Amino acid sequence: MAMPDIARIARAFTCKGTLQDYRPYGNGHINDTYLMRYAEADGTPHAYILQRINHQVFTHPMELMENIQVVTHFLRKKVRACGGDPHREVLRLIPTFDGDFCICIDGNYWRCVRFISGCYTVDFDATPEDFYQSGVAFGQFQQRLADFPSESLYETIPYFHDTPRRLEALCRAAKEDVCGRAASVAEELAFAMARMEETSLITSKLESGELPLRVTHNDTKLNNILLDEQDHRAVCVLDLDTVMPGSALYDYGDAIRSGASTAAEDETDLSKVHLDPVLFESFTRGFLEGTAGSLTQTELDLLPMGAKLMTLECGIRFLTDYLQNDVYFKTDHPTHNLERCHTQFTLVAEMEQNWEQLQAVVSRLQQELFVSV
């Protein structure tokens, strides 16, 4: 995509001051992001983030923005009530001059948010303290939205964490075998199919009401948390595009999957791929502290299963894409998605081997932190 006319797009939003400069910002793979710097007549600086929403991934951008608007409005009230700083702890959308929070220009959808200064993010090599802080932040996100009517939100990506449906898609991809790869991944297919009964554990309990339907973030990677440059504490949860109804187990599980592994997602030496027990405990401690007793006992008991199922689901998605000739995830070489699948399945197998220890950590932390219902 050619460089858009950022100055023209920016004029649609009610930013303070005059635009001084702008530049591409961050390393996201979905939306195009720009940092814009403004100054008022007296020199007072302001900074904003302008983003083009990828409407190929998010096919209903107006619904997505409505989700973000109502959730951030609700969160600001919660932060004020507990004496926090809503200007720093919650994303603030900048409206257009027409009062909207999203605008379509030349077929592309754009939004603007206030830039939060004095913060940083961590992509890789997280310390236990970094991961603990992300656990606190994502736990607080759950706790503060515990009484939000989750059913009122749109599904920005329908069936996103429907693990049984993901397995069904894998079976179809193997049967269709559009690029002749199915025979070479018989072992991987067998691994996924051997866990078929477990895939419906969360979805079935959501349907029965055994698990509560909650507002979930659904992309709980460490780099979606802003950390303070001075005291390194978590400040704000970022990237609310996938905020929608779901289970708290999704958020906990995906964070463990992505952040507690000792290796990169596409590591080819599987002897390096392990679930780091220190990082597992650090995030779990932070998450339980952040949720502050708002989880049900069923949710608490199933936290390790959330980690396992989100990891299995991710591996299934990589394997499905590999069988479909790599049409969803960006790849650098022909076996990239298969390598990603291998790391996820390796983590699943290690979780299973250490299942009692994982359960014991969660149980011990509940007792230490007096998290009970």
Q: pLDDT at position 104, please?
A: 94
Q: pLDDT at position 95, please?
A: 97
Q: pLDDT at position 373, please?
A: 44
Q: pLDDT at position 30, please?
A: 67
Strand order in the sheet with 234-237: 119-120, 225-228, 234-237
DSSP 95: P
Q: pLDDT at position 4, please?
A: 84
Q: pLDDT at position 370, please?
A: 64
Cβ neighbourhood burial of 259 (10 Å; 0-12, 13-18, 19+): buried
Q: pLDDT at position 31, please?
A: 77
Q: pLDDT at position 2, please?
A: 66
Answer positive or negative: Cα dihedral of 123, 126, 131, 133.
Answer: negative
The answer to whether 351 touches 358, Cβ cutoff 8 Å, is yes
Which residues, 6 or more positions from 239, have their beta carbon under 8 angstroms from its beta carbon?
28, 217, 219, 224
Q: pLDDT at position 27, please?
A: 66
Torsion of CA 285, 297, 192, 349, to 10 degrees: 40
CATH numbers and ranges of domains, the chain: 6-116 (3.30.200.20), 128-369 (3.90.1200.10)
Q: Residues of 191-214 as b/e, b for ≥16 C-beta within 10 angstroms?
A: bbeebeeebbbbbebbeeeebbbb
pTM: 0.93
- E strands, the chain, are 18-24, 32-39, 45-53, 103-105, 108-114, 119-120, 214-216, 225-228, 234-237, 244-246
Q: pLDDT at position 372, please?
A: 46
d(CA 46, CA 115): 8
d(CA 332, CA 224): 24
Could you please report the per-residue DSSP string of 235-269?
EEE---TT-EEE-HHHHHHHHHHHHSBSS-TT-S-
pLDDT in tens, the chain (373 residues): 567 899 999 999 999 999 999 999 876 556 789 999 999 999 999 999 999 998 888 899 999 999 999 999 999 999 999 999 999 999 999 999 999 999 999 899 999 999 999 999 998 778 999 999 999 999 999 999 999 999 999 999 999 999 999 999 999 999 999 999 999 999 999 999 999 999 999 999 999 999 999 999 999 999 999 999 999 999 999 999 999 999 999 999 999 999 999 999 999 999 999 999 999 999 999 999 999 999 999 999 999 999 999 999 999 999 999 999 998 888 899 999 999 999 999 999 999 999 999 999 999 999 998 644 4
Q: Which of 262, 263, 239 is nearest to 251 (CA)?
A: 239
Q: pLDDT at position 1, please?
A: 54
